Chain A
Amino acid sequence: MTKTILTVDDSPSIRRMVRMTLQDAGYDVIEGVDGQDGLEKATATRVDAVIVDQNMPRLDGIGMIRALRQHPNGQGVPVVVLSTESEDNLKQQARQAGALGWMVKPFTQDKLLAVIRKVVGP
């Protein structure tokens, strides 16, 4: 079964880049334009993984993860946080909120694909 990945980012170019990379590799991709939109999409349908940016309007990444983990549909979904900064404090917070891992921007398509494969399998 094709796996569905939700990418949540306020930057259309990042979303597009994630979409192209993952679709080429055979995943289905849905997009969320900010944390609130992402949360609604992640709870409305079952997704296999979520890639989420930290800094977004309305609801930031960590806030979205925290809310997602409260929702029944958000249990056990691997979430990877994208962040420009790699400070340990943020990683710690993300982990506590319920993120599985993080990726530091900028990243290459190969790296993204490797991460997704690691998290949800090929």
Chain B
Amino acid sequence: MTLLVFIAALLGAMAIGVPVAFSLIFCGIVLMSYMDMYNTQIIAQNMLIGADTFTLLAIPFFILAGELMNAGGLSKRIIEFAITCVGHIRGGLGLVAIIAAVIMASISGSAAADTAALAAILIPMMARAGYNLPRSAGLIAAGGVIAPVIPPSMAFIIFGVAANVSISKLFMAGIVPGVLMGVVLIITWMIVARNDKVETLPRAGWSERGQASAKAIWALGMPIIILGGIKMGIVTPTEAAVIAAFYALFVGLFVYRELKLADLPDVLISAARTTAAIMFLVCAALVSAWLITAANIPNEVAGYIEPLIDRPKLLMLAIMVLILIVGTALDLTPTILILTPVLMPIITKAGIDPVYFGVMFIINCCIGLLTPPIGVVLNVVSSVGRVPLGQVIRGVGPFLLAQVLVILLLVLFPQIIIVPAHWFY
């Protein structure tokens, strides 16, 4: 019952146009009143202490790194590199989009930032070459959500903090399923776009490829620094994020020279605002997370699911369906923060590997970024690529289905995540 009140208040506020962060605060107020423990200090304390977490500092630093990567010309180099490699193949620009998406995912922690860079450069090119516009937009949206699965990832950081699971391990475990998502998207694209009448780009000569690779090498070095730094034992994820930002700054200023010192204030301010928007929402979600825990709802939910506790695969399937449903209406961050305290005790009780669960949880939330009514990545593609939202939603259909199949595959064969994860840590 408490859970129903919670959902009704949240969705009701969101429906009448209250921004998500304020809807979450409103929902906290309703929940407190319903639980007969109304106290304004609960809101203030949870929100303010929520931001006072060192691990979450990785968020602004990865956002800053992403902004510097876009402003310093690193993203452009990566896309150019992919074009010279596979641009000449039939359906090649779709391949370019996914390959670039996977590479950028290993640098940036945010789906929105990656999708924006991909959509800005590739959608006009694909439209000119004669690709079906809605489908191209859909593919780019679907490729953009690989970002939170392949490390670095803000989603893993938020989950790791909320669930008390090693962020380094989550990072390492995300690599294989992230690449798998890319492969499945390429296959789907090859099937659905096989009859498009398109011009292919001229095949790039080896010298051209060599040049593009040489230019991209600095950008391609970034994932090695981030992952290598964490894996080899030099830094914590928060520190890796800062190093990534300084690296992107260095390359943009001195190697590609597309960034000028005078641009820096705008980049900083933009990253700061993005951080504030995300963190204010995180803080607001923490109020509800606290109330849900204090009301002992996790135990209540665990009671319903109890019969499934001995059948981990069935349990995972049920949980995945739940997350999928919640993810249509809620964005990644609130979904993680609200569901983690509810689900984590059940996962522990059922003996499911928390790192495996974390990766599955995040993949599932990423699919939510592609579903209406709230799907940020859809909005990004629509506004940056100038494609009407309805068309993007239509175009993303087959790719969405493909990613749901990936989830199903990973529920049936958890080894796909668990086994390679152990190679990395």
A, B bound: no
Residues of A bordering B, CB below 8 Å: none
